[in-house]
Amino acid sequence: MQSTAPAAYAFGRISKYVVLVLGAMIGLDMMGLDVSKLALVGGAIGVGVGFGLQNIVSNFVSGIILLTERSLKIGDFVDLQSGVRGKVVEIAMRYTRVSTNDLVDILVPNSEFVNGRVTNWTFDDFNRRIRVSFGVAYGTDKEQVKAAGIAAAKKIEGIIVDDPRRAPDVWLVGFGDSALNFELVVWVSRKLVTSPGRTEARILWAIDDELRAANIEIPFPQRDLHVRSGELRVKLDPPSSVSR
């Protein structure tokens, strides 16, 4: 069913364009106009206005390419090189309408999908792996951190936990200035894939809850000052009184 719906949409769109062109030609012929002569005139005019219509023609051809090769489908969640991110809701003759998670519709020229880099998060497999970074204080038991991260993942509906190949995991990825840097690595369903900001926020919320429950310290940036020689004096001023 998922494969027939995009094909039907593409067939409907292309058929519409063909009918419009044929209808225009038949209408001109019924009016007594010689279509072959109009083609010659159109060719001459096309040379003059071709540069002005270059972008329009490019977007039209790009739209046909998108519909025929089916690299883009209605309902796909895409991330464009220009920074546009959202769900494809319409592929028109000149543009593709992308609806963001803030319900803002953006009309993107079709040529941008053909000539630019497009990340299609739902092209074939609807499950995707995401990584959420967090840090804990030095000296924390790493196994305890891992248990807290996995427990946080299991709290969120839509994170895959019952597939051994895609089970949640916690990776130690670096040693920061004041923290051990970890990543919670999880596979998420399509629903969570299409809401990346909300998904990361929910995961971070759950991680914070689990770390607090396990009394694991979340560090803040700090610096140690070492005086190699001489004397360092620190003067603390008394708090200023507030007149009432």
- Predicted pLDDT at 9: 59
Residue range(s) in the chain whose domain bears CATH number 2.30.30.60: 4-120
- Predicted pLDDT at 13: 63
Q: Which amino acid is at 97?
A: R
pLDDT along the chain (244 residues), means of 10: 55 64 67 60 53 74 85 91 94 92 94 93 85 96 98 96 94 94 95 92 98 93 75 74 50
Residue range(s) in the chain whose domain bears CATH number 3.30.70.100: 128-213
- Predicted pLDDT at 1: 44
Q: How far apart are CA 6 and CA 177, in angstroms?
A: 50
4-120: which CATH number, 2.30.30.60, 3.40.190.10, 3.90.650.10, 3.20.20.70?
2.30.30.60
- Predicted pLDDT at 190: 86
- Predicted pLDDT at 44: 52
The CATH code belonging to domain 128-213 is: 3.30.70.100
- Predicted pLDDT at 53: 62
Six-digit token string for 104: 């803002």
